[in-house]
Amino acid sequence: MARRNNPYRQYQQNQIETADQGALILMMFEGALKFINQAKEAINKKDIVGAHKSINRAQDIVVELMCSLDLEAGEVAGNLFRLYDYTYHQLKEANLQKKVEPAEEAEKVLTSLRESWGQVVKGEAQGVSSGT
- What is the set of domains in the chain, with CATH numbers? 20-129 (1.20.120.340)
Largest Cα separation within the chain, whole Å, is 53
pLDDT tens across 43-55, in order?
Answer: 999 999 999 999 9
Angstrom distance (rounded) from CA 115 to CA 26:
9
Segment holding 4, helix H or strand E:
none
Are residues 129 and 99 in contact, defined by beta-carbon separation less than 8 angstroms? Answer: no
Q: What is the pLDDT along the chain (132 residues), one digit of tens a residue?
A: 445 567 655 545 555 555 578 888 999 999 999 999 999 999 999 999 999 999 999 999 999 999 989 888 889 899 999 999 999 999 999 999 999 999 999 999 999 999 998 888 777 666 655 554
Please report the pLDDT score of residue 120 as a whole number. Answer: 81
Q: Write the single-letter amino acid at 38.
A: Q
Contacts of 125 (CB under 8 A, 6+ apart): none
